[in-house]
Chains A and B, each alone.
Chain A
Amino acid sequence: MVKSTSKDAQDLFHSLHSAYTATPTNLKIIDLYVCFAVFTALIQQVAYMALVGSFPFNSFLSGVLSCIGTAVLAVCLRIQVNKENKEFKDLAPERAFADFVLCNLVLHLVIINFLG
């Protein structure tokens, strides 16, 4: 039972890997950006908080939320740019990117205001 599950797990990883390498490069770049943002958030939240504590709270909050925010916005961009996504067929990628930039601008304006 265990052997079959481990073999299944290996198969699973293989198929995941092979399917993922098939995605176009620009999407992979966006995925890398998302991973970076989430990684930063984790470092802030977990490591820094364990070491130093969460004072001042508003700076901590704005730091974590800015990372999560950029991650979320990048995922939205990826959804809109992905050619396999039928619902966004007629949305020009330039428009998607412009929206992404606008949203990021607003997000970072708020962050800087809240950073204290």
Chain B
Amino acid sequence: MVIKYESVIHEFDPYFNYRVTQFLSKNGIYEFWNWFDDRTWYPLGRVIGGTVYPGLTLTAGTIWWGLNSLNIPLSVETVCVFTAPVFSAFASWATYLLTKEVKGSGAGLAAAALLAMVPSYISRSVAGSYDNEAVAIFALIFTFYLYIKTLNTGSLFYATLNALAYFYMVCSWGGYTFIINLIPMHVLLCIVTGRYSPRLYIAYAPLVVLGTLLAALVPVVGFNAVLTSEHFASFLVFIIIHVVALVYYIKGILSPKMFKVAVTLVVSIGMVVCFIVVAILVALVASSPTGGWSGRSLSLLDPTYASKYIPIIASVSEHQPPTWPSYFMDINVLAFLVPAGIIACFSPLSDASSFVVLYIVMSVYFSGVMVRLMLVLAPAACIMSGIALSQAFDVFTGSIKYQLGASSNSTDDAEDNTSTNNAPKDDVSAGKTDKGEEIVKERSSKKGKKKEREPADKPSVKAKIKKKALVLPLEASIVALLLLIMLGAFYVIHCVWAAAEAYSAPSIVLTSQSRDGLHVFDDFRESYAWLSHNTDVDDKVASWWDYGYQTTAMANRTVIVDNNTWNNTHIATVGTAMSSPEKAAWEIFNSLDVKYVLVVFGGLIGYPSDDINKFLWMVRIGGGVFPHIKEADYLRDGQYRIDSEATPTMLNSLMYKLSYYRFVETDGKGYDRVRRTEIGKKHFKLTHFEEVFTSHHWMVRLYKLKPPRNRIRGKAKKLKSKTSSGLSSKSAKKNPWV
């Protein structure tokens, strides 16, 4: 990534974060909190202080400031590019800590090693991927670690640290709602399965109070921390845990008979009160249109919600459900080891292991809804697989040791081992349950070896009561060990390949292999440089929202819509303009003070994610707000086509014209390599726009809005003004722009 493509920031979102970090490093933190950005979402602007998750930028800013104050002069860009890999190393360390709390240091090491390489996490933490998840995943794992640590030790100190780590997570990523819902679910699970203990109360109650306060401190969240449904689960469980704590306390100080009386009394009164409260609550929640949930959370719970109601959310490719092969691609052999790990967690079921099982079940469900959440699944899968791997290794190496030991030692030791073991008789089926139980045996046998060297006669009595131990035969253990090592090797090879090929590409620079070597397509940066050198500072550029961040960051021009997509109507306006005929589009753009229009076109080189392929979203989003854009007008037989079979509305839309203007001059026939057909309308002139720049491979095309004529020609010249050639669908009205 850095070696192949030079140290450059990847993708789209990181460019925005980079710009924010630049601002922070130049102007300091107070300006940052109050920053009102007027270079995007013209003419609305954007309140940066209130709508961005500050964790990532503050972290990078602090690192840059710290390094500079130590007189190590790193540029902001370098710090930004390398923040993600540094934090992925921290995340690996946090995984080790978390798994150590659950199962022991062997499992911890295995899980950390797996996380260090898993492709899904690498995709978000390559050098250059300067996005929120880079620090958020570390914060997630660290918060979970502190929660489990508090649960295991019951210390208020760790509870405080837990709340602070949760605060860091809220600062970094919107996915913090996962934590604030998973932990209450786990608490509820513990209560229901009878595992309530004072440590649970200490782990949970301070977290809720402190965590809610801290979450409300972050401007993005603000009062949503207490008002939206995403947080209600934590409050509900907060109340429940108090009730349970009270019940246990009273149970402790009363005799059983009195307790029964108390229960009946309380239940009868409590039921009535509960009904009233619940009825009021339900009425309140149901009266708001979405029941209080935000759009993104709703689309998580009901995967079909977004495609029905909010086309914007449905159109982001990261929000689509993943396919089966993508699971294998992203977590590889871990997919097989996870079930083994789940079973291994059950063999001594503790609070911590039940938490990890719940974590992985929930993350599997959510990753099935959105590809982007595969990232949350990755640490859970690594933890589970680490547990499974270390258990398996324990079994096999223990068997080998035992077999080698039994052949050379006396039978006394053998009896020691067999008697302190407690396993049932079984065949060599190498089932997963065997591994789980082997661990209990092996652990107790190791302890037994240390403690019971002396009393050799006492175990012999026990040996008659207990059943025979099971140890796998030597050859099977060695073969299984070798197979496990090979499995690990395959995993490493796959991860390295995935990291190098699939996830390293910064989508701002493209490469392709061809017969005469490596072609580099640097069109994006070429056009942004052109924009910044050849236009005025105050010129506004309109494009589809994907390119907003890059345009403001690299070309330093004001844009109309960008990747934040917070204003659906504004995006719909741009979408409508792109789907309308030239004159209507000109009017819309003129009302927004737009000077230049940017279009990405991949037809010459076969770049598939260009604007024509995204056109269907422009129509849908535009049609969602402006009803005169009807999707059916652009479809022929249910498909978007740009060849001779395309509908007239399609052929006259601005997007078609701006993409294919003068395209026939390249090869004479106008063959579009992405859609693999010749285009429908080949020779036409633009009346309201003029082309100012086309990049080297025709990937980015810039057009300028033509200014209106000073005077409109009179009626005498009406006949002559019909010179617009090739615009057959232009109405007979006189055209003042030509």
Check A102/B199 contact, CB under 8 A, given A15-B254, A57-B223, A65-B213. no
Residue numbers in A under 8 Å from B199 (CB-CB)? 87
Q: What are the residues of chain B within 8 A of A102 when measuring CB–CB?
A: 156-157, 160
> Is A113 located at the chain interface by the 8 A CB criterion?
yes
- Scan residues 221-280 of chain B and give those whose CB is less than 8 A from a CB of chain A: 223, 226, 245, 250, 252-255, 258, 261-262, 264-265
B197: chain A residues within 8 A (beta carbon): 87
The proximity string for A residues 1-17 relative to B, scoring 1 for CB distances below 8 Å and 0 otherwise, is 00001001101100110
B632 contacts partner chain A, Cβ-Cβ < 8 Å: no
A107 touching B198 by the CB < 8 A rule? no
Q: Which residues of A contact B159 (CB under 8 A)?
A: 76, 103
Scoring B205, B212, B252 by chain A CB atoms within 10 A of each residue's CB, the highest score goes to B205
Q: Please, which residue of chain B has its CB at the minimum distance from the CB of A15?
A: B258
- Main secondary structure, interface of A, reads helix
For the complex, give the distance between the alpha carbons of A79 and B156 in Å: 11
Contacts of B213 in A (CB 8 A): 61-62, 65, 69, 107, 110-111, 114
Given the known interface contacts A12-B261, A87-B197, the answer about A61 and B216 at a Cβ–Cβ threshold of 8 Å is: yes
* Residues of chain B with a CB closer than 8 A to A77's CB: 156
- Indicate whether A52 reaches chain B with its CB closer than 8 angstroms: no
A96 sits at the interface (CB 8 A)? yes
Q: Known contacts A73-B206, A76-B156, A103-B160; is A19 also within 8 Å of B216 by CB?
A: no
B contact residues around A88 at 8 Å (CB) = 154, 198
Q: Is the CB of A85 within 8 A of B198?
A: yes
Q: Name the B residues within 8 Å of A19 (CB-CB).
A: 253-254
Query: Total interface residues on B, using CB and 8 Å?
Result: 35
A61-110 residues at the B interface, CB under 8 angstroms: 61-62, 65, 68-69, 72-73, 75-77, 79-80, 84-85, 87-88, 91, 96, 99-100, 102-103, 106-107, 110
- The one of A11, A87, A110 in contact with B154, judged by C-beta atoms closer than 8 angstroms, is A87
A-B contact pairs, 22 of them (CB 8 A): A8-B265, A12-B258, A16-B250, A16-B254, A23-B253, A58-B216, A62-B213, A69-B209, A72-B206, A73-B156, A76-B202, A84-B252, A85-B198, A87-B197, A91-B155, A99-B156, A102-B157, A106-B163, A110-B210, A110-B217, A113-B217, A114-B217
A73-B156, A80-B156 given; name 8 further pairs at CB < 8 Å: A12-B262, A16-B254, A61-B213, A79-B198, A85-B198, A100-B156, A106-B210, A113-B217
**Chain B positions near chain A (C-beta within 8 angstroms):** 154-157, 159-160, 163-164, 197-199, 201-202, 205-206, 209-210, 212-214, 216-217, 223, 226, 245, 250, 252-255, 258, 261-262, 264-265
In order of increasing CB-CB distance, the 8 nearest A-B pairs are A99-B156, A19-B253, A69-B209, A8-B261, A79-B198, A72-B205, A15-B258, A99-B157
